[in-house]
Amino acid sequence: MTKKERAKLAVEALKAEYPGAVCSLEYQDPLQLLIAVRLSAQCTDARVNLVTPGLFARFPTLEAFCEGTVEEIGELIRSCGFYNTKSKDILGMCLMIRDEFGGQVPDTIEELTRLPGVGRKTANLIVGDIYHKPAIVCDTHCIRITGRLGITDGSKDPLQVERQLRERIPPKESNNFCHRMVLFGRDTCTARSPKCEGCPLAKDCDTAKAARRG
């Protein structure tokens, strides 16, 4: 079976398992999603969703954030961890969006990754979820699971995995596939103790086959 064939099987199986795949972060506009994703680094989405209502109530617009301070933003996001760095990035990205991008969140990976604290994972999420362009969000779930399934070559490098998946996942499926990877990684294909029994992908997964032999 080729890696592209394995990818097709995974796309269809996860589509059946999670038909309503959406981003688990709560937001009302592109800027709110961008900020929420920055807060989610080394923090659960559930925690971010508890913090952002208060943050966005205090700073409801781009201009409001630009007039804020690192200290005030930091106090509101303290429970997300690494709040000093995150607050500097949030203020920095808002100022850059205002001054260099005409107040609009950019719609390309190249422009988005110029913003403070924004890497390819975040940029892909914005490009996919907001602007509906084909995107591959390579988080730890995606890297781990696609390696286990033999869709990728087992690389742990996010950029390498992203490039491989762009070759193997149909563009129209890529955004939702990555959301489904997150759900599947939390529910079933966990990092330490994957629940191979009953897994919809077990029959095509070398990890599951090895577990059965063991």
Catalytic residue among 139, 157, 187, 209: 139
Closest CA to 14 of 179, 180, 159, 130: 180
Q: What share of the chain is helix, strand, coil (3-state, %, to 5)?
A: 65, 0, 35
Told to judge if 121 belongs to the known catalytic residues of this protein, a careful annotator would answer yes
21 phi and psi, to 5 degrees?
A: -70, 125
* From 121, 157, 172, 209, active-site residue: 121
Contacts of 97 (CB under 8 A, 6+ apart): 31, 62, 103, 104, 105, 106, 115
Q: Is 107 a catalytic residue?
A: no
8 A C-beta contact, residue 40 and residue 118: no
Q: Could you list the active site residues?
A: 121, 139
